């Protein structure tokens, strides 16, 4: 789950990934994940790669054994915060 680049008020966005963990996962176990930033107002079409960096994880109240992962949007290097990322850690 992340905030998109719409202004003045960003929207929540989400993607689903199915992974199998023996126990509740830690942030260190969660991979960086890419997305097309042109559909979320976070990039132009010719250079639209953005990266989701997991920063918090919570049990999903709607799905048994599911988790909700809060993410920050990063540039393609996975290290530099995206301009829309106002909460970079």
What CATH number is given to the structural domain containing 42? 3.10.20.70
Q: Please state the φ and ψ torsions of residue 7, each to the nearest 5 degrees.
A: -130, 150
pLDDT category at 86 given cuts 50, 70, 90 is confident
Instruction: Report yes or no on 55 lying in a domain.
Output: yes
Distance from C-alpha of 83 to C-alpha of 40, rounded to nearest angstrom: 13
CA distances from 89 to 52, 55, 58, 73, 85 (A): 13, 8, 18, 11, 10
Number of domains in the chain: 1
Task: Find, among 82, 85, 53, the residue nearest to 69 by Cα.
Answer: 53
Predicted TM-score of the model (pTM):
0.88
Q: What is the mean pLDDT of the chain?
A: 92
My answer on whether omega of the bond before 8 falls inside 30° of 0, hence cis, is yes
Q: What share of the chain has pLDDT > 70, as a percent?
A: 99
């Amino acid at each position: 789950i992340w905030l998109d680049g719409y202004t003045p008020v960003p929207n929540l966005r989400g993607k689903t990934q199915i992974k199998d963990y023996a126990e509740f996962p830690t942030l260190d176990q969660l991979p960086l994940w890419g997305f097309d930033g042109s559909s979320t107002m976070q990039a132009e079409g010719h250079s639209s790669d953005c990266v989701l960096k997991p920063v918090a994880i919570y049990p999903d109240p709607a799905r048994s054994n599911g988790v909700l992962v809060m993410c920050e949007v990063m540039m393609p290097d996975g290290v530099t915060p995206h301009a829309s990322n106002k909460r970079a850690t």
